[in-house]
Structure 1
């Protein structure tokens, strides 16, 4: 057995198998395991907190994915120019990606302060009364989405830049020769040429959205009123808060099934797009 295969078995395959076995048990770390079969999975159906966490995660995904695509694509379009300053801005926009999530979340915690936060101060200058953000159940999730988009759009920006640079210049020049304006070139040439790139970015964003944890943990601790409890946060709470390791493992595999299903659907869509 080669070293890479051995490392894969030890650090990937073995933990997954152990977690799968654990999901069929009642285990609290302190006492021995008790085999309960599918009880953990059936309990999920009647667990209102699991339902709430799933709803919050879906809501987060529906807000985060479209906004993430728009911001990344718009930034890539602005930086897809042969200008020296564009190179520096590419690096600048990528800095949040390599920064610690806890550190960036701490900065956003200050920015979203209802009284003295930068965002509400700016809104106040414009004559708008800013919301309580992290202390309001209606605004806490949008606040987390804003922070997440800011922290992660750099990666997708780079992917879109690669896609834009692979578009044949002849297509754009031909469209402009025929009298197309900038919007028409974008709509009928650039956007269709980025179909596969957008599919890839969408998949990455959806997978990341369903795994969101750090932002909710640092900014809101799942509140107010459980409005920002996500699936991964609930897994953490059940596993390390309530010491229900078997139940947490069951939630983990449900989350894995959801992500797998979304990835397979998206793969089919990408293949269809490639056949056209």
Structure 2
């Protein structure tokens, strides 16, 4: 057998061929450039749409803030006059005061309640999934629907809130029709709709805390309060900074609940900055002045956000 194969030559291996470029790809494009263009081909239209719907209105609103325009007649350039008028507007000062009061009531309450409920729902209790769902449902509900529903609940004549007060022997209240109570009631409605967000965020943070650290603290003799104060609370620092910024921005932009419940009343007691912008621009057709107030709110919101981010970094709280 060896003689039969002795005269045969082993065939030479076939020469290696370069991998041909995928079908449809230009041969002159480098691979990295082709991947980049392909990615932008998918993400580009959506990115252009989002940027166009955010950058273009912002630039246009800034240009309008430098003009006097009622939406019909030709715009008249007036420079920075609208911004100067803001410093002399008592109605704007009142709207700023109402917004600050609402923010001072809403932000700490939402953070405290969110943390408290999250700690309670982080324990192994029966039907915990049902309770978590019930807490989160008001957050995904429409704010307009929440405001309309609340206007019936807190109606002074036939509302459910006064029915409960009468049943327990307490005097009826005016709620949304009272200058002293309306803003607090709106804060209560906003808490009902927004506290689910803070609960979910704190629940996620609580479940990320290593269990061995908690068990080690308990083995060292720490009780529940000491574990919460020395282990859990410091671990929730970044989440607290994030929720503080988020809820502050939410409070400064309050509009939908005011629009669906009081329309800024009674006697302007619940007129916030955003509702004041709506009134100036779309009711009084002062588009230039309304845009200037909106840009003032944007500047304040940006300063608050940057300040809290710098504070978190200097305090070594890795929130961002």
Please, what TM-score do these two structures have when normalized by structure 2? 0.83
Provide Cα deviations, 1:67-125, integer angstroms capped at 9, x if missing partner: 11111111111111334511122122111111111111111111112243222322333
Contact residue 28 and residue 243 of structure 1 kept, 8 A: yes
Q: Which has the higher helix share?
A: 1
Are residues 1:87 and 2:129 paired? yes
1:224 aligned residue? 266
Does residue 167 of structure 1 match 2:209?
Answer: yes
Structure 2, gaps ≥5 residues long: 1-39
Unmatched tracts of structure 1, length 5 or more: none
Q: CA deviation at 1:17?
A: 0.6
Q: Does the 8 Å CA contact 2:237/2:317 hold for their aligned counterparts?
A: no
Equivalent position of 2:67 in the other structure: 25
Bigger mean CA deviation after superposition, 88-97 or 135-144: 88-97
| Alignment partner of 1:259 is 2:301 | yes
Native 8 Å contact 1:23 1:250 kept in 2: yes
Alignment of 1:179-258 (within 5 A): 179-258=221-300
Aligned counterpart for 1:268 among listed residues 310, 313, 317:
310
When the two structures are superposed, what TM-score results if normalisation uses the length of structure 1?
A: 0.95
CA distance in 1, matches of 2:285, 2:309: 37
Residues matched between the structures, number: 276
Q: How well do the aligned residues superpose, as a CA RMSD in angstroms?
A: 1.6
Distance 1:179 1:116 in 2: 55
Q: Deviations over 1:178-202 (max 9, x none)?
A: 2222222212221111011000010
Which stretch of the first structure deviates more once superposed, 181-190 or 32-41? 181-190
Tell me the alpha carbon deviations over residues 195-238 of structure 1, each in whole angstroms, 9 at most, x when there is no partner: 11000010000000000001111111101121100000000000
Contact residue 195 and residue 273 of structure 1 kept, 8 A: no
Instruction: Determine which structure has more spread, i.e. the larger CA radius of gyration.
Output: 2
Q: Conserved in 2, the CA contact under 8 Å of 1:164 and 1:190?
A: yes
